[in-house]
Chains A and B, each alone.
Chain A
Amino acid sequence: MKDLKNLIFFENLLLEANNELVQKAQSEGKVCACYTCENTPEVLLNLDGCFSARLRAPRTGSLDISTYYMTSFLCEYSRALLERAIEGGYNFADCIITPDGCSMMNRCIENMELLKAVGKGKDKFFFEYMEIPMKADDNGLNLYVLQCKNHILKPLNETFGIDTSDAAIRKAVKEHNHICELIRAIGDYRKEENPRITGYEFNVITLATYVAPKYLIVDKLEETLEELKTRQPDDTNRFRARVMVVGSEVDDTDFVKLIEDSGAYVCADRFCYGSLPGRNPIILNDEEDALTQICRQYMMRGECPRFMNTDKMDHRRVYVDELAKEYKADGIIYEQMKFCDPWAYEKMMGSQILRNKYGYPVLAVDRPYSIGTSGQMQTRVQAFVESIEIKKIQRGEANG
């Protein structure tokens, strides 16, 4: 396949947290609101005058200092963020807004605050911690709305003078939805039998939408979608199986690359930082205020294992099944970042239930934050691909 014209542009955005578009937006006087968890309604950080950047720690090396502060038992994502903060890598942030999504992320940000690792030279810098619901119900919705008002809208308005009116929120939703629709349209090409976009390329593009100001990449996304309309896939499909990746935070594109290099096409991305459901558009009506509607949709669509009511828990597996069917996955890879408690449980539950109840071949793996070219992981994925092939042969599907 011919290379995508903007792929290198998108890849370059992922090389640094403080990427060139973040710098450009800040030079235009915009406020950079950083966040760490998918349960923070991203769209509220993209009101006029500010933009969101989800924190990553690309090219993470040693975690020595953060390991001293948080021990080796905390997940590497939280440690990598703290390490990068201590190195001064997040001083571009104008504020950090985080929910107590999980204990580890909470401790990571608290360490940043206590060590004064972020906000150097920024007089108005602030940290905000949110309580977000653990169940999807009316009570949870009331909490979500109140927390967004108190910990996102109010501080943004009072500190930076951001317009947080209903009209401003609706405008942000409109822009947000445009990005989501573009990502959805690009991602839909993954449903093709011989897809014209690889899982890696899609992963890079999606990730870029989380870490760069959206208004500065929208043209590149539109261009890429246009390009894809006429892009010709290779005559022969180099992949031997289609897999869906489900699990915890993945902001390392090498992980999807490794899977694809091992022979499995990543046809769907149901992980934190992925597009499903992270890039579902937010549908607003005119009867109810926008904030309540946003919170409701974040709460209802959230697939984070911290949601604890039975309906939500069951829905996590139902949703994976629905996506697997929609994207024609042959198998499912459940991944969990090492030391992530919520996903340790969900990986066990999901992999057992999807295998035993729904009949999918499932591979369950845990992984470090930066996978690099892990030989162990390659071997496991290759063996999984082979097992899927054998099952296909046994069912008489292979070779016509």
Chain B
Amino acid sequence: MAKQIGADRFGDFYIEGSRVRKRREWRGFVDTMYDYSRWLKIMMTLGKFVMKPRNVKAMFRYRWMANYLAVPMMVDRHTQGLRGEYLRICHEEQDLVIDDVAKLLDSLFRGDRRIGNDKKFSDKVVLVDENEMTAVMMGFPTLKVLSRETPSTYVSVLLNQRAACHYIDVAQEFGLAGDVCPMPEAEAGVSIDDDAPILGACAIQCNTTCDGSLLGNGVISQRLEHEDGIPVFQLAAPLRHREDDVQEYAAQEIRNAIAFVEKHTGVKWDWKAYFECAKRVNYATKCRQEWLEMNRTPYPQVFGSNLALYTETNYMAICGRVPAFEKADRKITKLARQAYAKKKMAAKEYRHRAIVWGVQSHYYMDFLVWLLNCWGIVPLTDMLSMVSTKEIAEVDTPENREQAIYDMAWLTENMIMRNRTHGGYKVLLDELWEFVEMFNADMVILWEHMSCKALDGMHGLFEEKAREKGIPLVWVSHDLFDPRIISRQGVRDQINSFMRTVMQEEPIDPSLEILPDDQSW
């Protein structure tokens, strides 16, 4: 129980065989009161959500809703050890994401034919993928852009490491091979298990990150189109997104997608709204660049899982459409500047500066917090946060309206993960070493998401390059959504053995080396 950073033995908070931790952290009076006040706010958000009978009804209908019992714990996992500005930055990000997801759930159940059955509302809903850039919806301010997969699988696994296991098993019972990426596999499982809300005027699917994602959408569209009567547009973003000769194709896909939405909702594209969103996209990019700039110095401020999770939400799912995120960007930047000016650190000791590459384990998103607290490895940035920094046209002129189509296409092509896993080896392999240099990193943590074929396919060349550059590279294998393949401790063990045997180091907090969190949420 201490005010000072790093004075606690964090391993002592865990209970063997339990879902939850013994108690919350004492961070000194001011920070504890701040954390408590944010906890109260989260409880109020959740309270407001369960006040509506339809949401309670949904709680008893959809299996994945049980995961939302663990919301406060997700925040605790990400705030472990944080004090001062870092704690505030984390809450700014996490609490906003929680608020956004609560609204998403509420909207889904309002339109869901099984729950709220608000037909008028449902007719204004356009369904999108979980892993889809929503740029194409920036000019439809009166429509509701909802993703069913975000709450059912994506957020669920952040909340509860075993959330997707049931759905993975369902998909495999129907004959799906066990070696495909468990994310689209679980999403397909939700559809097969008849556990997705049914609503919407139409849906836009996208060939998001990988072959698995693309094919998983095929399972989902079977029910959507053939049973639920919800028309689906498949938006095909080119894979070789850095090539000039695919951009016209990408732009035409955007034009077609807009025409599809207009046709099925009766709502016309609104340029004024689009350019408002474009301004916010540019502002978010500017802020992200400033944070990354700080991370190049000895005093990084916005980094780790918070950066990854927030970027993923803000860049891709929000894409300038929600003003609240602009406010959050501003606050986070202000806090980061303050902390930077005071040369503050998030942990008592920084030993290594690491670039985290590859696709991180979703069931262990707070691993980066552990990395910092246990071994003093600072995750300066990660692959999912290294997205497009291109400024898009934000002034409404006839030329910019044409440019906007290409901007939306560019953003869609460069959605999170696919901007690295597709587009040739340069964006995945070569640019990693450019970032290592740019951020003065002395280590690479390379997530090996074992069923991500695009990443696995570069395994040997990553190693060869690391040897050539003399940079220690640590492989951390996992199976994204399925902790039964490699547990959280299995993930940690890979770092522990590397740090002890190769780097010949002792942990900063030895109580974190082995944790009894196998049964934990």
A interface list, Cβ under 8 A from B: 68-71, 73-74, 78, 100, 102-104, 106-108, 110-111, 114-115, 129, 131, 133-135, 137, 139-140, 142-143, 146-147, 150, 305-306, 308-310, 313, 336, 338-339, 341-342, 344-349, 351-352, 364, 366
Contacts and interface: CB of A to CB of B under 8 A. Distances in A.
A342 B221 CA distance: 16
B456 A308 contact: no
Interface stretch (B105-113, B172-180, B332-340, B368-376): B172-180
Given A139-B253, A140-B236, A352-B174, A103 B460 contact: no
B354 interface: no
Contact of B176 (A135, A147, A348): A348
B211 A103 contact: yes
Contacts of B214: 134, 306, 308, 342
Interface string B207-249: 1001110111111011001000000101010111001011011
B180 A341 contact: yes
A73 B460 contact: no
B181 A341 contact: yes
Given A68-B459, A308-B207, 16 more contacts: A69-B461, A70-B459, A73-B453, A107-B425, A110-B424, A129-B424, A131-B238, A133-B236, A146-B249, A305-B218, A306-B214, A308-B215, A309-B234, A344-B177, A345-B180, A346-B218
A102 B236 CA distance: 14
B512 interface: no
B167 to A, nearest CB: 14
A129 B451 CA distance: 24
B212 A135 contact: no
A294 B424 CA distance: 27
B240 A129 contact: yes
Interface in B416-442: 421-422, 424-425, 429
A342 B219 CA distance: 12
Contacts of B456: 70-71, 73-74, 107
A65 to B, nearest CB: 8
Given A70-B457, A71-B459, A135-B236, A143 B249 contact: yes
Contacts of B218: 305, 308, 313, 345-346, 349
A310 B207 CA distance: 13
B450 interface: yes
B347 interface: no
Contact of B210 (A103, A114, A348): A103
Chain B contact surface mostly = helix
Contacts, number: 163
12 contacts: A104-B453, A106-B454, A110-B425, A110-B458, A131-B238, A131-B245, A139-B256, A306-B211, A313-B218, A344-B180, A345-B216, A349-B222
| From A104, A107, A133, A305, residue with most partner B Cβ within 10 Å | A107
A341 B211 contact: yes
B249 A102 contact: no
B179 A73 contact: yes
Contact of A135 (B217, B234, B453): B234
Given A305-B215, A313-B221, A345-B212, A107 B236 contact: no
Contacts of A344: 176-177, 179-180, 212, 215
Given A142-B249, A349-B222, A100 B453 contact: no
B37 interface: no
A103 B421 contact: yes
Nearest to B221: A310
Contacts of A143: 238, 246, 249
Contact of A308 (B210, B217, B424, B429): B217
A150 B458 CA distance: 26
A111 B177 contact: no
Interface in B384-441: 421-422, 424-425, 429
A134 B450 contact: no
A352 B175 contact: yes
A100 B451 contact: no
Contact of B215 (A114, A150, A346): A346
A111 B249 contact: no
Contact of A345 (B176, B207, B458, B459): B176
A100 B422 contact: yes
Contacts of A364: 175
Given A69-B459, A103-B454, A345-B218, A339 B179 contact: yes
B179 A338 contact: yes
Contacts of A308: 205, 207, 214-215, 217-218, 234, 236
